[in-house]
Chain A
Amino acid sequence: MNIAATAIPKEVKQSQRYRDPRPFSVRFREHMRRNRLAYLLLIPAFVVICATVIYPFIYAFNLATTDTNMYNINSPTKQPQFVGLGNFGEIFSNPEFYTVLGRTILWTVVNVICHVAFGLWLAVLLNRNLKMRGLYRTLLVLPWAIPQLIVAMMWKNEFNTQYGSINLILQSIGLPAIPWLTDPFWAFIAVCITNIWLGIPFMMVIILGGLQSISPEYYEAAQIDGATAWQQFRNITIPFLKPVLTPAIILGTVWTFNNLNIIYLITKGGPNNGTQILVTYVYRAAFDFYRYGYAAAFSVVIFLILLIFCLFYIRATRGAQEV
């Protein structure tokens, strides 16, 4: 962004700061002359983004105010009706919405905390002169490298009550078998375990990159001053990791909140809707129950929840940095 700013000659910067007295048409022509290439370069991508992102985005809001479903979408006799905010009313008056929202928040918080904690722990351990460092790193990144579909299926197999290796191991040390995928509580634990396993490498690699950019001189100086390992971690490592961690946590939170793959593939939100989170709920409403208008309204709600979260988070971290 700074580079782009310096590329603009000084007089243009000033013309923006003070009001340019020239008529709009002259300013417009100069702007176009200066940026003609930019617009030319942007047009192809812009057209495709309009067709695949912006138009569907607006259409989603439109769809959210109708009762479109499987029976009236292509029917010669029935037309989807405009229902205003009726879908939103239905969402917010359904007590299940709040249960699912609560579970989604729990799911996101548990996953992101575990991802960051384990990622940070492993990254700190890896960030030293170890003989097998490369091998460790490669093996630890493995869960991220495998296609998510395969990860989900693989864990579903491991969670099988009778034949899954987790229960076999538990039984071999004398513990009772756990009904992983048939009991709502254990099913939720099972999908959490899968997603935690899946998400640690991303955080670990990002944090490792951040750790490597911290100059060892800070630690040397701190050691001379007699700082303990914990003090060094608290006062050097964490502050320096902040610029890397903030976007990583935002991305991780959004990805976890919106993670459809793992839950849909392992439990489909079951048993008894016990592992349903918002995105799986809405995906099933749309593509298993064909309630298009309702699902569109639900998507809009999820999107707004995430947007508000991110605005708050960015403001909170900015505020903390200023203090």
Chain B
Amino acid sequence: MAGTFFKRAKGDSSFKRLLINLILIVACAAALYPVLRVITVSLRPSGSVFSMDLSLIPPDATLASYQSILFDPKVGFWTWIGNSLMVSVITAMVALILAAPAAYAFSRFKFAGKQPGLIFLLVTQFFPATMLLLPLYMMLIQLSLINNFWGLILCYMSIALPFSIWILRGYFDTIPNDLEEAAYIDGTTPLGAFFRVILPLSTPALSITALFSFMTAWSEFIIARVVLQKQALFTWPLGTVTLQGAYYTNWGPFSAAAVLISIPVVVLFLLTSKFLVSGLTLGAVKG
């Protein structure tokens, strides 16, 4: 009670509070409206996809689009999800396993080439997509890794690995050195200290980093479109785009697929965005 009184006494009149709430509600509506429209379109029966109706729940709402996405064997929704899951999980795991030790080295040691290395990791963020994609594409042709998940994972590594090292180094920097020194006194080797002291302490940061790599790979379209050309190998972004026919846009099933794919990602993201942001700024400010 005293708390709210104090806050209000600090300057927000009730009119101002009303105004602030009003602005925020309008902003939320603007953020939410396009999303709600996708749900609306996904609920329309296939005949009235091109409807001029503006109501959020169409009067003739039906789950037919979802049904065709989920159960029609011609659509291949589950294949796409399976392909995407495989690529994204492997990308996230490999990036984490490679990045964690490297980030630890960047955080704790003063080896030759540390400073240039850090700057290089940052500079990779400036590469336009085609800068690496084009040479990687040529390499994949030479290695006959086009239309191969490992080829795609290799491409994703070029994005996920530098970023993961950067984020994890920022986190390791916040763990005081005393912890390892205490472990050394107890007779642990430096490697043992890394595995048994630092890694267990970093579980939240490690899972956020893995999740970030996972989500990057999960939603990626531009690279996948170049590397995977066979329908059977399509990840969901490639697959959902094929749902749109050449002459008309098949919005019903597309929207249903969009909703189904977005829900788990959005939930994961909302749960973790706070940590991701602190990791981002931590790494960036210290650099």
A residues touching B (Cβ–Cβ < 8 Å)? 1, 3-8, 31, 35, 37-39, 41-42, 44-46, 48-49, 51-53, 55-57, 59-60, 63, 73-74, 122, 125-126, 128-130, 132, 136, 138-151, 153-155, 157-158, 162-163, 165, 168-169, 172, 197, 201-202, 205-206, 209-210, 223, 229, 243-244, 247-248, 250-251, 254, 258, 260-261, 264-265, 278-279, 282-283, 286-287, 292, 295-296, 298-300, 302-303, 306-307, 310
Contacts and interface: CB of A to CB of B under 8 A. Distances in A.
Nearest to A265: B221
B107 A4 contact: yes
A223 B237 CA distance: 53
Given A53-B132, A57-B127, A261-B221, 5 more contacts: A5-B110, A122-B27, A258-B126, A282-B130, A296-B134
A107 B64 CA distance: 40
A250 B287 CA distance: 13
Interface string B85-117: 000000000000111011011011111100000
Interface in B111-157: 111-112, 123-136, 138-139, 141, 154-155, 157
A41 B194 CA distance: 10
B221 A155 contact: no
Secondary structure of the B contact surface, majority rule: helix
Contacts of A46: 102
Contacts of B23: 125
Contacts of A138: 270
Given A153-B258, A209-B281, A52 B155 contact: yes
B269 A145 contact: yes
A111 B201 CA distance: 39
Contacts of B32: 139, 142
B240 interface: yes
Nearest to B25: A136
Contacts of A126: 24
B128 A209 contact: no
Given A44-B102, A48-B157, A254-B125, A286 B52 contact: no
Contacts, number: 281
Contacts of A35: 109-112
Interface stretch (B65-73, B158-166, B206-214): B158-166
A125 B219 CA distance: 31
Given A4-B108, A265-B221, A299-B130, A45 B35 contact: no
A143 B31 contact: yes
Contact of B161 (A52, A229, A247): A52
Interface string B50-63: 11101000000000
A6 B105 CA distance: 15
Given A3-B107, A147-B219, A158-B34, A248 B155 contact: no
Contacts of A44: 97-98, 101-102
B232 interface: no
